Amino acid sequence: MTEESRMAKVQQIMKLLGYNSEFTGVNKDLIREWFATLELSPGFRDYIKDRDLTILKTLGEEAQSEKMRLILIGQRMELKYLAGSVREEMAKREREAKKHNQKMYAKSKKTS
């Protein structure tokens, strides 16, 4: 069974069980705000690279049990998801800033 088919089965089971990935009491706006600041942090990209390499090196060792391999693959997926979410939020902020600047420029042209 491939990793993709396992993940698909797990997702189907979670859906059948009515698993809800939304938690109460979690402020999504604060999380997005935090993500936007992470990209600017000089250590964030280095952390992502270092952690990714560590996981890949560990996966490369042959003495890993199947359970440990799945845990490491899950950790790597989570790491990639975090990096992608941060990148997306930063790009969204940049688009919003650009849009705002264009509006301000258009307003200044009208008043002058």
* Residue 46 placed within a domain: yes
Q: Is 18 left (phi over 0), alpha (psi -120 to 50) or beta?
A: left
Cβ-count burial 55-71 (b if 16+ within 10 Å, e if not): beebeeeeeeeeeeeee
* Residue 77 placed within a domain: yes
pLDDT tens-digit profile of 57-87? 999 887 778 889 899 999 999 999 999 988 8
Task: Give me the chain's average pLDDT, please.
Answer: 83
User: Which pLDDT belongs to residue 21?
Assistant: 60
Q: Which domain holds residue 35?
A: 26-95
More confident residue, 108 or 88: 88
* Residue 4 placed within a domain: no
More confident residue, 54 or 37: 54
* Residue 20 placed within a domain: no
* Residue 1 placed within a domain: no
Helices (H), the chain: 3-16, 28-38, 42-60, 66-111
* Residue 76 placed within a domain: yes
- How would residue 109 be classed by pLDDT, with cut points 50, 70 and 90? confident
d(CA 110, CA 31): 38
User: Which pLDDT belongs to residue 19?
Assistant: 61
- How would residue 106 be classed by pLDDT, with cut points 50, 70 and 90? confident
The yes-or-no verdict on residue 56 having pLDDT over 80 is yes
* Residue 30 placed within a domain: yes
Overall domain count for the chain: 1
pLDDT tens-digit profile of 19-32? 666 666 778 888 88
